[in-house]
Amino acid sequence: MKKLKDIGEFGLINRIAEKEKVLDKEVILGIGDDAAVIKYKKGRYLLLTTDMLIEGVHFNKKATPFQIGWKALATNISDIAAMGGIPKYALVSLGLKKEISVKFVDEIYRGIRTLAKKFKVTILGGDTVSSPKIVVNIVLSGEVEKNYLTLRKGAQIGDKIYITGALGGSILGKHLSFIPRVKEARYLVKNLHPTSMIDISDGLLSDLKRICEASEVGAKIYQKKIPLSKEAVSLENALTAGEDFELLFTVSHHPPPYPSHQGRGKQQQLTPLPSREGKAGEGEVHITQIGEVAKKEILLLDEKGKRIRLTGNGFDHFRL
């Protein structure tokens, strides 16, 4: 009998998605992106996303309860950012051992609240149940102006591929304390109008594959252009390790109508993102062009234009 580890996480998601025929006219987008998109107020869509974190899978005993709470909300905020949206309301489900201290639970909530406050997210309730392992499930709603909604689908051949920040080594700590890229995503949708966007949760190559499949295109990625984080142990690690939570997006190759996009030519760019919406004094996050949208497959190319083959693709929950 076929088991989950035989079909893998992507196999399971495709299996589920195939059977969900969305007939509701209010639904703009169901399964298959970082968040679902529903009709809402005039000029805006409602976004809905959810993420489940489990002890021993998404965090281990070394993670502080503050970090567990922070991460649980941050992964959801990252999904809303990847749609170009603004996070709004959260519901928190906690599965907890009876023997756990009240202080531990307070700290999980302090982690959630600290980040919620930073992004003006309101916590509206949830569910608390007993569980042999700690489970945190957060659902987050968001809003996005109709003209700023950015999907995985939309990349066109010739578009430039960018990422925010640098990749790799997140497992050493960043995955528990990252700042979701809402500010950056909002700057992007207002100024660069990405043709597609996703947050890197399962690894660059895995998530690029999702953009390519949704957009029915391929991609060329230039190895030497990949910005490595200080913590990245290798290029392969930076390409396939999960939980960087940077944004991966494509920008049209057509002559740019946007002032902020002019005069760049074709050379590699390290473009500063002015922190227009952020506090003064906060660091700016760079974006880097790492390749172009191409036909069919995803190719990783070395300096001489030769294809580099990798064994792994990214994190898969059921194929470890």
Residues numbered 27-66 forming contacts with a second copy, rule: CB under 8 A: 27, 30-33, 35-36, 38, 40-41, 46, 48-54, 56-58
Nearest approach in angstroms of CB 308 to a second copy is 29
List binders of a second copy among 62-91 (CB under 8 A). 88-89, 91
Nearest approach in angstroms of CB 210 to a second copy is 13
CA 26, CA 274: separation in Å to the nearest integer? 36
* Token output for 75: 């992964």
Count of residues near a second copy by CB under 8 A: 77
Residue (33 or 184) nearer to a second copy, CB: 33
Nearest approach in angstroms of CB 276 to a second copy is 23
CA 123, CA 135: separation in Å to the nearest integer? 18
Quickly count: other Cβ atoms within 10 Å of residue 22's Cβ.
12
List binders of a second copy among 248-267 (CB under 8 A). none
Residue (54 or 235) nearer to a second copy, CB: 54
CA 186, CA 193: separation in Å to the nearest integer? 10
CB 187 within 8 A of CB 285: no
Nearest approach in angstroms of CB 184 to a second copy is 23
**In the set 98, 230, 304, 309, which binds a second copy (CB under 8 A)?**
98
CA 307, CA 301: separation in Å to the nearest integer? 5
3-state SS record for 51-81? EEEEECCCECCCCCHHHHHHHHHHHHHHHHH
213-241: buried (b, 16+ CB within 10 Å) or exposed (e) per residue? bbbebbbbbbbeebbbbebbeebbbbbbb
**In the set 44, 64, 107, 113, which binds a second copy (CB under 8 A)?**
113
Nearest approach in angstroms of CB 239 to a second copy is 22
**In the set 60, 61, 62, 102, which binds a second copy (CB under 8 A)?**
102
Is residue 114 involved in binding a second copy (CB under 8 A)? no
CB 144 within 8 A of CB 82: no
Q: Which stretch binds a second copy (CB under 8 A): 161-169, 187-195, 218-226, 311-319?
A: 311-319
CB 176 within 8 A of CB 168: no
Is residue 157 involved in binding a second copy (CB under 8 A)? no
Is residue 19 involved in binding a second copy (CB under 8 A)? yes
44 pairs with which residues across the strands? 145
Closest CA to 93 of 127, 49, 50, 67: 127
Residue (103 or 266) nearer to a second copy, CB: 103
Residue (171 or 301) nearer to a second copy, CB: 171
Residue (112 or 287) nearer to a second copy, CB: 112
Strands 86-96, 160-164: parallel, antiparallel or unpaired by DSSP? Answer: unpaired
